[in-house]
A = this chain, B = another copy of it.
Amino acid sequence: MNQLCPRFEKAMVLLSTRWVGLILFELLKGAKRFSEMEADLPISGRLLSDRLKLLEKEGIVERNIYSEFPVRIEYTLSEKGKALEPVIKDIQHWAEEYISAEEIADNERE
C-alpha cells in the first residue's frame, strides 16, 4: 500500500502539522514566551498550547520555567529543533523567489 520511508513520513506529518512551521520560525529567532508567540502568530492560545505540547513531546521544543515574579516561562528549541533550521531557511528562500506579490494580495482578499 504505502511505499514511503516511515522516518520520512513521520517527519513529514509532524512538520506539516498546521502552525508547526511558523512556531519553529519564531523559535529560531531565539527564546520566546507564550504571550509573545500568541501575539505574533495568527492562532488562538488554545492551539498554541496544543502545538507547544506536541513539540515538547517530540523533543523539538524545551520549556524553561523561571520562578520570578511573575513567573516567566520561555520556550526554546532543542538540538533536534535547531537542526530544522535548514528546512525553514529553504522555505524562506523558495518563498522569496516563487511567491509573487499578487498571490499575497489574493490571499488577503479571501
A residues in contact (CB < 8 Å) with B: 1-13, 15-22, 25, 39-42, 58, 80, 83-84, 86-87, 90-92, 94-99, 103-104, 107
The answer to whether A8 touches B25 (Cβ under 8 A) is yes
Per DSSP, chain A at the interface is helix
Closest B residue, CB atoms, query A84: B94
List the number of copies, as a whole number: 2
**Which residues on B sit within 8 Å (CB–CB) of A103?**
10, 58
**Interchain CB contact (< 8 A) of A15 among B8, B16, B80, B96:** B16
With A7-B104, A41-B2, A42-B2 as contacts: A91 and B12 at CB distance below 8 Å:
yes
* Least Cβ–Cβ distance between A73 and chain B, in angstroms: 20
With A6-B104, A20-B16, A40-B4 as contacts: A11 and B90 at CB distance below 8 Å:
no
